[in-house]
Amino acid sequence: MNPDPSEPRVFLVGAGPGSPGLMTLRGAEVLGRADLVLYDQLVPARLLDLAPATAERVCVRDLPGQHPDKYPHIHQRLIEAATAGKTVVRLKGGDPLIFGRGGEEAEALRAAHLPYEIVPGVTAALAAGAVLELPLTHRLYASAIALVTGHELPNKPGNKLDWKALAAFPGTLAIYMGIARLPVIVNELLKHGKPPDTPAGIVERASTGDQRSVFATLGELEDARRNAGLEAPGLILVGDTVAQRAPHPWFEARPLFGRRVLVTRPAHQAAAMVKKLEHLGAVVARMPAVEIRPLADFAQLDRALEQVRAGEWDWLVFTSANGVRAFFDRLHALDRDARDLGRTKLAAIGPKTADALREFRLRADLVPPSTFSSEGLAEALKPHVSGTRVLLPRANRGRDVLRTELSQVATVEQVTVYEQVDAVEPDDAVLDALRRGEIRYVTLPSPNIARGVLAGFDETIRGRVERGEIRLVCISPITGAAVRELGLPVAAEATTFTEDGLIAAVVDLARRE
Ligand code: SAH
């Protein structure tokens, strides 16, 4: 990336507690121009997508040396890259300066005379307050909050924690890194006079779809944790404010909270869908399918574009956003622009395709009112195109319905504007998760993708689908038919044939289960 002379080269950035949306704008901005991202293991994977595609991404776990000797390696890597003129983002869980050793990294940079900036992050305790709807301070119950490490054993030499003071602390205790030592921590607090009936709780992976929480009195907290099976990383909360939490916090009340959903849209289209599902509470896995490829030979398309310029077509009918983009990309590559379309009318199969036209400052003359399928489009178009000449820019293959239907009343030709590849990039991690039953909803956004995805299913996965443990959710009855043809049951079909319709079908199904 082009270095900005007004900015330092190294950024120590807080990634927040786990939900990608909880990183700061400044963090996202500097990540967006990083050459090297050195990230902690707990940093949400989706945040790394914010870095340029060309950026090198290194998990500090993979650096040589075991914790705590790893730190010199991290420092060294930061310094080397920055000295070489790279923009480096050191991405750390929560806030860099709260139990994050960010101070040591800053010190190493200072010693190397490298300018840096520290971007704060939402620390686990603050996120826990928000997602559990638990007031960390309270007019009546807590005038202070203490962020405490549970990592230091009470009998460790040089231990700096004053358990007597903590037991008497007039507020909420938020104890980090304490799950493995919970019995010792509880014991110390009780020993120093904290009442055993003090309200307490644990939240594991707060702010993520994997979040789990358990509440009990301080005296019974370890039993409750064990029964609920909560593990690290988790935060322990102790104090009267814990009893003031909302009974059904908003975060866990979302319709897909904790549900595991697979998104199979192609990589460049998946981001929006992943975000929507995550906002509904889902844990999303991705296995991108059907990549779009530009044409190997443009001769036919170029001829059609000539005809469009000559005003030989009355209608251009687009059946996908990809088709719109490929069409105009080629027009622009030929050094021409939308004026070539003149009075040609435009139709779009649905709102997403109409949006793609809008990207080129064009308004669709016709979008079917509700059914966003070839049939719906044909029905809506027929009264308008009678006796006219209609061009259908489309993928190298697809259904023939539109051409057949419209041919009854108009002169229709198809032109291939992009190539659709059926390949599903088989992702072993995702297939393993399916085999183990760790993904419940598989979303299928087109018949081609459905065929591609199902081709990767082995007997174990098919068995789970047949027994209803994995639910196949289809964007439309056509996609549903493609699934049934391959001998597998369809759990739900969207009633509106859009991405939002597909998501709504998952929500609806989850609500019924
Ligand atoms: N710098 C981080 C803390 C790093 S220490 C911050 O500001 O949040 C790691 C500990 O933080 C974990 O052992 C756990 O106690 C806590 N932690 C981090 N993320 C968490 C999360 N999402 N939910 C609960 N605890 C979390």
Q: Determine the atom of ligand 1 nearest the C-alpha atom of 97.
A: 1
| Model pLDDT, residue 152 | 75
Q: Are residues 282 and 431 in the same domain?
A: yes
pLDDT higher for 431 or 7? 431
* Residue 2 lies inside a defined structural domain of this protein: no
Residue in the block written with tokens 């098919």: 462
Q: What is the CATH number of the domain that holds 332?
A: 3.40.50.10090
Residues 229 and 149 in one domain: yes
| Domain shared by 62 and 138, yes or no | no
Mean per-residue pLDDT for 250-264?
96
CATH number (domain holding residue 42): 3.40.1010.10
Residue 155, pLDDT score: 65
Query: Which residue has the least CA distance to atom 3 on ligand 1?
Result: 99
User: For 187-203, what is each residue's pLDDT tens digit?
Assistant: 999 999 999 999 999 99
- Residue 150 sits in the same domain as residue 231: yes
pLDDT given at position 66: 60
Which of 87, 121, 155 corresponds to the end of one domain?
121
Q: Domain count for the chain, please give it.
A: 4
Mean pLDDT for all residues in the chain = 93
- Please state which of the ranges 110-124, 221-235, 261-275 shows the lowest mean pLDDT: 261-275
Does pLDDT of 1 surpass 60? no
- CA of 16 from ligand 1 middle (Å) equals 9
**Residue 377 domain-assigned?**
yes
- Element (DSSP H or E) covering residue 460: helix 459-466
Measured from the CA of 92, which atom of ligand 1 is nearest?
1
- Same domain? For 417 and 301 the reply is yes
pLDDT tens, position by position, 143-174: 999 999 998 765 666 677 889 999 999 999 99
Give which of 195, 191, 271, 201 is closest to 235, Cα–Cα: 201
In a domain, 479, yes or no: yes
Q: Whose CA is nearest to atom 20 of ligand 1?
A: 124
Residue 395 lies in a domain: yes
Q: Is the pLDDT of residue 282 over 80?
A: yes
Confidence (pLDDT) at 161: 84
Domain C-terminal end among 66, 86, 121: 121
Is residue 51 within 8 A of residue 45, CB to CB? The reply is: no
Higher pLDDT, 7 or 130: 130
- Evaluate whether residue 154 is within a structural domain: yes
CA-closest residue to ligand 1 atom 9: 177
Last residue of a domain, one of 401, 422, 443: 422
Query: DSSP code of 4?
Result: P
Q: Is residue 267 part of a domain?
A: yes
pTM, to two decimals: 0.78
Is the residue at 4 inside a domain?
no
Dump pLDDT digits (tens) for 231-246.
999 999 999 999 999 9
For residues 319-358, one letter each, b for 16 or more C-beta atoms within 10 angstroms of the residue's C-beta and e for the rest, the string is bbbbbbbbbbebbeeeeeeeeebeebbbbbbbbbbbebbe
1 occurs within a structural domain: no
Q: Whose CA is nearest to atom 24 of ligand 1?
A: 234
Residues 82 and 142 grouped into a single domain: no
Residue 349 Cα distances to 170, 371, 373, angstroms: 62, 9, 7
Which residue minimizes the CA distance to atom 11 of ligand 1? 176
360: amino acid identity, one letter: F
Residues with CB under 6 A from ligand 1: 17-18, 42, 93-95, 98-100, 123-124, 176-177, 203, 205-207, 232-235
Ligand 1 centre to CA of 5 (Å) is 34
Whether residue 276 sits in one domain with residue 157: no
Packing angle, helices 102-111 and 70-83, rounded to 10: 50
Give the distance (Å) from ligand 1 centre to CA of residue 93: 7
pLDDT at position 3 is 63
Q: Among 41, 148, 176, 236, name the best residue to mutate to test ligand 1's pocket (greatest count of ligand atoms within 8 A of Cβ).
A: 176
Using the mean position of ligand 1's atoms as its centre, give its distance from the Cα of residue 95 in Å: 9
Cα 164 to averaged position of ligand 1 atoms, centre (Å): 24
| pLDDT category of residue 52 using cuts at 50, 70 and 90 | very high
pLDDT for the residue numbered 292: 78
Q: What spacing in Å lies between the alpha carbon of 132 and ligand 1's midpoint?
A: 15
Q: What is the pLDDT of residue 478?
A: 95
Atom of ligand 1 nearest to the CA of 121: 7
Reported residue count of the chain is 513
In a shared domain, residues 415 and 302: yes
| Residue-level pLDDT at 433 | 96
User: Does 391 lie in the same domain as 441?
Assistant: no
Share of the chain above pLDDT 90, in %: 80
Q: Which numbered atom of ligand 1 lies nearest the CA of 178? A: 15
Task: Tell me whether strands 172-176 and 234-238 are parallel, antiparallel or unpaired.
Answer: antiparallel
Question: Which of the listed residues 99, 123, 131, 203 should we mutate to test ligand 1's pocket, taking the one with most ligand atoms within 8 A of CB?
Answer: 99
Say whether both 463 and 415 belong to one domain: no
Mean per-residue pLDDT, 356-361: 96
| Residues 321/356, Cβ–Cβ less than 8 Å | yes
Residue-level pLDDT at 72:
79
Residue percentage of the chain with pLDDT more than 70: 96
Which of 139, 350, 93, 67 has its CA nearest to residue 232?
A: 93
Looking at ligand 1, which residue's alpha carbon is closest to its atom 6? 94
Average pLDDT over residues 484-509: 96
Answer whether the bond into residue 68 is a cis peptide, omega within 30°.
yes
Task: Point out the ligand 1 atom lying closest to the alpha carbon of residue 208.
Answer: 22
Residue nearest to atom 16 of ligand 1 (CA): 176
Choose the residue to mutate in 185, 211, 235 for probing ligand 1, maximizing ligand atoms within 8 Å of C-beta. Answer: 235
Give the model confidence (pLDDT) of 421-457 as tens digits: 767 778 899 999 999 999 999 999 999 899 989 999 9
- Max Cα-Cα span within the chain: 91
Predicted local distance difference test score (pLDDT) of residue 448: 86
What domain range includes position 204? 125-251
136 and 51 fall within a common domain: no
Nearest-atom index, ligand 1, CA of 17: 22
Residue 2 has pLDDT above 60, yes or no: no
Give distance in angstroms: CA of 129 to centre of ligand 1: 13
Quote the pLDDT of residue 42: 86
Same-domain check for residues 411 and 464: no
